[in-house]
Amino acid sequence: MKKKADHWSLYIIQASDASFYTGITTDVERRFDEHRRGDRGAKYFNGRNPVEVVYREDGHSRSSASRREAEIKQLSRSEKQSLIALQQPSGPRHA
């Protein structure tokens, strides 16, 4: 069983305008619902809607999730698409 410190996840959500939003949380499904409902969701989703979680990495500490989030936010759109494509066959498609 993993330590509580390793329960952080990094996720990428595809928005209704086909853009990508990257974030971290301890509960991807809950966080996706918060984005979808607009309560406690990111300002990023003002004017666009979250469609689906297209990528996630589980088992991070808070620190490693934050570092990975910063790395992914620096990627180009095509690099993010490549990262997402690598996980498509076995990864989750929606929260």
Q: Which 3 state secondary structure label does DSSP give 10? A: strand
Query: Which positions ≥6 away from 56 have C-beta within 8 Å?
Result: 9, 10, 11, 12, 28, 87, 91, 92
Give the per-residue pLDDT at 4: 63
Give the per-residue pLDDT at 41: 84
- State what percent of residues in the chain have pLDDT above 70: 86
Q: Where are the domains of the chain?
A: 4-87
Fold annotation for 4-87: GIY-YIG endonuclease (3.40.1440)
> Which range (32-36, 41-45, 59-63) has the least confidence?
41-45
Q: Tell me what the mean pLDDT of segment 30-45 comes to.
A: 91
- Both tokens of 90, joined, read 């076995």
pLDDT band at 12 (very low <50, low <70, confident <90, very high): very high
